Structure 1
Amino acid sequence: MATPSPSPIESLFLDMIESLKQCDVIRVAGERKGAISDIAENSSAGFSQLTEACGINIDPSLTDKHVRYLDLGIHWYATDASTRGGGEFFLHELIDALASAPPDTSSTQSDAESKLFQQLRVIDYHPEGGTISFAAVRLLSNTIAPRVWAHHFPYGTFELDLDYSAYLDALLLTKGFHGWHFLYADIRLTDPKYAPLVALIRAGLDLLKVALPDPRHEELEVRLAERLD
């Protein structure tokens, strides 16, 4: 059977990954592009099957944001060893993510956080970078809640000012540089405990501005400044 042609959203991610691979100041540490399952190939039919099998409803508008590869992502960092900048993302195909078990609670730090984990389904994970971190949608009454959540040990689990569609758009902009999720959270980064994280965000953003400049990076600078105010 022939491999389906990439959809528009998939093409954006494939192009972004290729741009990272072709950049002279970036080295790729890992890359994945999983197969497209029979269930995921037709987004609308796949969403319907998920409803029938698991009772989980997906907004039909997300067919345009459905990245059908089982896993798709890249782990990258600066070629200059003196630069700390880097990033990682690996998207988990949405139907499979919603049908999967909640994330492991071993990195949770409270009963409330463990309870929250039972409602989360991982959509973006970071298996190669050495940190316990992921992003997830939250299931409430068998539907996807409006906001995506992110977990980053030891800083905890926090709600992002992004729905699933906006999460993918932000990921395309940030290329998954380490710490980018905190730019979309209601968190002040002035506490000394965040100092290592702020350094990672600063390094990743600086590297990205050199490697793949985009006028929209100014939006990220504004977000960082707001959280350091």
Structure 2
Amino acid sequence: MTNPTPNEQRWIAALDELRNCADLHVTRDHQDGPDTDAPDARSVFGTLAEQDGVALAPALQACYLRFDGLGACWGFGEEESDPLFAGEFNLLPLVQAVRQQPPIERYPYASPPQQEIVAELRDFDGTPMTGAGHVTSLRIKRGGVHNPEIWFSDNPLGFHRLDIDLCGYLDALRVTKGTFGWQYLFTDVSLADENYEVTAEFLTEMLDVFPELFPQHDYAPLRARLEARL
């Protein structure tokens, strides 16, 4: 493996935090690459602009990851088969994500305005190991330099725009470790609604437990967001 960038080192450390935490049951994790010949962020962003017509904001290069894949699946609680809360993430390489087809079949009942959004979505994080059905997508537009919107899907509860960009998403993902439903902290959804009862319980448990398990991270901003949505 080539020398990891500071951003990649933070992600390697995040996986180590999961693996080395005796209180979590990590059922699967993977970190693929980066290989010695993996292109850097500037090269990749140039390729996407020239070959795909997708010009991403240069600021996003700071959080670019050269991994061919990165993910983990875990649970917290005495019973591995019935955890108090759990999580999963599975990040795709940026180029692979951008070149995917839009997930039109996932939203068969989307309204015409929603269809316009769906046509520009490209999945980059999901839950394939558990089949939880949580998917996060970039809204990719062609023409002009842009910072893609981030959209979260939780079928059958629809999809929601997050009020963070890609770098903000990745920062929050490292802290939450992919706890199921953490993305709702960055939406305008009321977690007091009965449809989000389990999500609210998971996030409450996470914010009670993680500050003790991972004291190197600051959970106060996430706690404030949860309180604002309950």
In the superposition, the TM-score normalised over structure 2's length comes to: 0.88
Structure 2 unaligned runs (5+)? none
Q: Read off the aligned partner of 1:129 and give its amino acid letter.
A: T
The count of residues paired between Structure 1 and Structure 2 equals: 226
**Residue number among 184, 187, 199 corresponding to 1:185 in the alignment:** 187
Q: Read off the aligned partner of 2:127 and give its amino acid letter.
A: H
CA–CA separation in structure 2 for the residues paired with 1:58 and 1:89: 23
Q: CA offsets, 1:160-183, max 9 Å, x none? A: 110111111111221111111001
Q: Read off the aligned partner of 1:105 and give its amino acid letter.
A: E
CA–CA separation in structure 2 for the residues paired with 1:187 and 1:46: 35
Q: Read off the aligned partner of 1:42 and give its amino acid letter.
A: D
Structure 1 unaligned runs (5+)? none
| SS of 1:150 mapped into structure 2 | strand
| SS of 2:199 mapped into structure 1 | helix
Aligned to 2:22: 24
Shift of 1:217: 1.1
Q: Read off the aligned partner of 1:50 and give its amino acid letter.
A: L
CA–CA separation in structure 2 for the residues paired with 1:127 and 1:114: 24
Identity %: 27
CA–CA separation in structure 2 for the residues paired with 1:55 and 1:39: 24
Kindly tell me: are residues 21 and 107 of structure 1, through their superposed partners in 2, closer, same or farther at Cα, counting changes over 3 Å? farther
Kindly tell me: are residues 104 and 23 of structure 1, through their superposed partners in 2, closer, same or farther at Cα, counting changes over 3 Å? farther
| SS of 2:198 mapped into structure 1 | helix
Q: Read off the aligned partner of 2:52 and give its amino acid letter.
A: C
Aligned to 1:116: 117
Query: Which region of structure 1 is more displaced relative to structure 2, 42-51 or 76-85?
Result: 76-85
CA–CA separation in structure 2 for the residues paired with 1:33 and 1:181: 22
CA–CA separation in structure 1 for the residues paired with 2:118 and 2:36: 29
In the superposition, the TM-score normalised over structure 1's length comes to: 0.89
Query: Contact (CA 8 Å) 1:85, 1:200: kept in 2 or not?
Result: yes
| 2:134 aligned with 1:133 | yes
**Residue number among 197, 211, 214 corresponding to 1:212 in the alignment:** 214
Query: Contact (CA 8 Å) 2:163, 2:186: kept in 1 or not?
Result: yes
CA–CA separation in structure 1 for the residues paired with 2:84 and 2:109: 28
Q: Read off the aligned partner of 2:185 and give its amino acid letter.
A: L
Shift of 1:43: 1.9
